[in-house]
Amino acid sequence: MAVVMTAPTTTTAAAGPAALSETGEMETTLRGVGVSHGVAIGEVRHMGTAVLEPPAKQIPAEDAEREQGRARQAVEAVAADLMARGNLAGGEAQAVLEAQAMMAQDPELMADVERRIAVGSTAERAVYDAFAAYRDLLAGAGEYLAGRVADLDDVRNRIVARLLGVPMPGVPDSDEPYVLVARDLAPADTALLDPTLVLGFVTEEGGPTSHSAILARALGVPAVVALPGAGELAEGTMIAVDGSTGEIFVNPSDQKKAQLEAAAAERKAALAASTGPGATSDGHKVPLLANIGGPADVAAAVEAGAEGVGLFRTEFLFLDDDKKAPAEAKQVEAYRQVLEAFPEGRVVVRVLDAGADKPLDFLTPADEPNPALGVRGLRSLLDHPEVLRTQLTALAKAAEGLPVYLEVMAPMVADRIDAKAFADACREAGLQVKFGAMVEIPSAALRARSILQEVEFLSLGTNDLAQYTFAADRQVGAVSRLQDPWQPALLDLVALSAEAAKAEGKSCGVCGEAASDPLLACVLTGLGVTSLSMGAASIPYVRATLAKYTLAQCERAAAAARAADTAEDARNAARAVLSGE
């Protein structure tokens, strides 16, 4: 068994029986959402997700203190383990794992556990019940909190497993490479996946822009999410996962495996041959930049040949402490490490994007009925100008004396007033760099020219732009159809923004996950986007595909995609134009 990296294929296989596998089983095709390129062929191993429900037995009052001690010890051990996994993993994964460790140590949750033990629960049952109560609260408290339920369940399972002395739930123990299948993957598991053992993964839940999908791409492991019935694939079944098309071939025939392997070999050769700056075959330059979460992601970006950073998600620096922002000196150090890695390159830093799926206690209001539509992103920074000022001052200091082209942008800009407020804050902090606005809200795309009166560039955050255009939460697998970045309405908004930037003589990049789809990258180029920023692992794929087509072909593909009515038709129309069908 081996990981086979392959090109995004250009066929759309229909679901259903095809041929017999070598073991005489019928080959079938399932379709989910491909979120991380490449093909993996191997046996299914399921994630150990069984919810351990400890029996509800009554303990004598004199045992309560001992049980409370056990509970505290287990919580501390699990938190320490999560922190250690975070240190090992580094980058974006570290921040996510540290946030989970903080969940485990939540003082209110611990107080609830102790209260339950005082009235007769065992430690494991008290943990189980206290987390269940907290879980219900999260699940009913708005979409972004509901999105954290998987993380909370994972923390609970780890503490209960430790108290019961049973193996931790999570990645299966196996010396043989396998394809990991799970309902959803908790960050603690994705962070530690060993790419030499885990050939790829498939989940029943999750959408293309969920944080699990982003982590999968960061790891460079082929992945398909939102696959209904994934949990029913029998342990040990042979499957082939195509992370580009979202197809899963169950019991693939020898012919299918050979076909996938041949496509993979061809693709590998093309990838190896493609180096240098991003450009179409006729030399139209489209800089390929990396999305990073901090200094730990820089090495992979440099190795993939990133021409700079198109999105530095700085919020990961803010997750260590939920009471206050990191000190200016600590921020200067982190920014400088990133800036030094790209001498004379372009580094676009996004100021803190807190709120919604990334809440921070000291910034995010706790009582919003709908946090995704509340005070988040730039809105919370304008409410806390001291946090913005410290960040901008730290950035100015970090860039001092370096030849790097630092650029700074704000998330969630809605209109010209927002853009002006951000530009004023940059000027007041003495930043002598370009400042820009992310286009994540449809209003910003519709009125892009007005926003460009205040800032010097636009960067399309297509993850949130899709979320707000289609009123479809990016964390919810059930609405992943609407999160598809091929949706023609989303392409229209990209085109509007790019046209506005061109008319103003300014630039308009894409830094949402849309940029990491090689075919869509060609379409975005055809729509007039001037740079593409993505997880480092996707850069070689995008570079190789873009280099195959002229700008005029990309423009024709873009027009064909926009003329379609559905995401699938848009994808097929662009494919047909580019393959000359």
Q: Can you say which residues are annotated as belonging to the binding site for Mg(2+)?
A: 440, 464
Q: Which of 37, 46, 211, 522 is catalytic?
A: 211
Residue with Cβ nearer Mg ion (112 or 464) = 464
List all residues 6 or more positions away from 495 whose beta carbon is below 8 Å from its beta carbon: 527, 528, 558, 562
Q: Which residues are annotated as a binding site?
A: 313, 350, 440, 463-464, 474
Instruction: Report if residue 484 touches Mg ion, rule: CB under 5 A.
Output: no
Residue with Cβ nearer ligand PEP (68 or 210) = 210
Kindly state the smallest distance separating residue 563's Cβ from ligand PEP, in Å: 25
Residue with Cβ nearer Mg ion (187 or 411) = 411
DSSP 3-state of 565: coil
Q: How far apart are CA 270 and CA 544, in angstroms?
A: 7
Instruction: Report if residue 464 touches ligand PEP, rule: CB under 6 A.
Output: yes
CA angle 363, 149, 72 (to 5 degrees): 85
Q: How far apart are CA 340 and CA 321, in angstroms?
A: 26
User: Which one of ligand PEP, Mg ion, none interacts with residue 292, CB within 5 to 8 A by kind?
Assistant: none
> Could you tell me which stretch among 163-171, 189-197, 442-450, 458-466 binds Mg ion (CB under 5 A)?
458-466
Rg from Cα positions in the chain? 24
Residue with Cβ nearer ligand PEP (242 or 353) = 353
DSSP 3-state of 309: strand
Contact 138, 146 (CB under 8 A): yes
Instruction: Report if residue 507 touches ligand PEP, rule: CB under 6 A.
Output: no
- Per CB under 6 A, contacts with ligand PEP among 303-322 are 311, 313
Kindly state the smallest distance separating residue 348's Cβ from ligand PEP, in Å: 11
Q: How far apart are CA 426 and CA 393, in angstroms?
A: 9
User: Which one of ligand PEP, Mg ion, none interacts with residue 98, CB within 5 to 8 A by kind?
Assistant: none
Kindly state the smallest distance separating residue 156's Cβ from ligand PEP, in Å: 27
564-to-31, 85, 487, 492, 552 alpha-carbon distances in Å: 21, 45, 9, 11, 19
Clarify whether 46 is annotated catalytic.
no
Closest CA to 460 of 416, 547, 521: 521
Which one of 86, 308, 310, 512 is in contact with ligand PEP (CB under 6 A)?
Answer: 512
List all residues 6 or more positions away from 393 whose beta carbon is below 8 Å from its beta carbon: 328, 429, 430
What pairs with residue 427 in β-bridges? none
H or E element at residue 407? strand 405-410
Which one of 124, 153, 368, 440 is in contact with ligand PEP (CB under 6 A)?
Answer: 440
Q: How far apart are CA 28 and CA 13, in angstroms?
A: 10
Which one of 297, 464, 513, 517 is in contact with Mg ion (CB under 5 A)?
Answer: 464
Q: Across the chain, which distance is largest between two alpha carbons, in Å?
A: 80
Kindly state the smallest distance separating residue 350's Cβ from ligand PEP, in Å: 8
Residue with Cβ nearer ligand PEP (312 or 549) = 312
Kindly state the smallest distance separating residue 463's Cβ from Mg ion, in Å: 5
Which residue type is seen at 227?
A: L
DSSP 3-state of 60: coil
DSSP 3-state of 338: helix
Q: How far apart are CA 556 and CA 580, in angstroms?
A: 11
Instruction: Report if residue 86 touches Mg ion, rule: CB under 5 A.
Output: no
Pairing of strands 457-460, 39-46: unpaired
Instruction: Report if residue 463 touches ligand PEP, rule: CB under 6 A.
Output: yes
Q: Which of 508, 511, 522, 554 is catalytic?
A: 511
User: Which one of Mg ion, ligand PEP, none interacts with residue 454, CB within 5 to 8 A by kind?
Assistant: none
> Could you tell me which stretch among 209-217, 235-243, 251-259, 438-446 binds Mg ion (CB under 5 A)?
438-446
User: Which one of ligand PEP, Mg ion, none interacts with residue 354, CB within 5 to 8 A by kind?
Assistant: none
- What per-residue string of b and e applies to 70-103 under the rule 16 or more CB within 10 Å gives b? bbeebbeebbebbbebbeebbbbbbbbbbbbbbb
> Could you tell me which stretch among 83-91, 264-272, 342-350, 459-467 binds Mg ion (CB under 5 A)?
459-467
Q: How far apart are CA 550 and CA 542, in angstroms?
A: 14
Which one of 42, 177, 287, 461 is in contact with Mg ion (CB under 5 A)?
Answer: 461
Binding mask 162-201 for ligand PEP (x = CB under 6 A): ----------------------------------------
> Could you tell me which stretch among 112-120, 125-133, 188-196, 462-470 binds ligand PEP (CB under 6 A)?
462-470
378-387 — which CB contacts under 8 Å span 24+ positions? 378/351, 378/410, 378/411, 378/412, 378/413, 378/418, 378/421, 378/422, 379/355, 379/412, 379/418, 380/352, 380/354, 380/355, 381/351, 381/352, 381/410, 381/425, 382/418, 382/421, 385/425, 387/325, 387/352, 387/363
> Could you tell me which stretch among 98-106, 253-261, 457-465, 499-507 binds ligand PEP (CB under 6 A)?
457-465
Kindly state the smallest distance separating residue 445's Cβ from ligand PEP, in Å: 13
| Number of shown-chain residues binding ligand PEP (CB under 6 A) | 10
Clarify whether 511 is annotated catalytic.
yes
Kindly state the smallest distance separating residue 218's Cβ from ligand PEP, in Å: 12
Contact 409, 289 (CB under 8 A): no
| Number of shown-chain residues binding Mg ion (CB under 5 A) | 3
Q: Which residues bind ligand PEP (CB under 6 A)?
A: 311, 313, 353, 440, 461-464, 511-512
Residues labelled catalytic: 211, 511
Q: Which residues bind Mg ion (CB under 5 A)?
A: 440, 461, 464
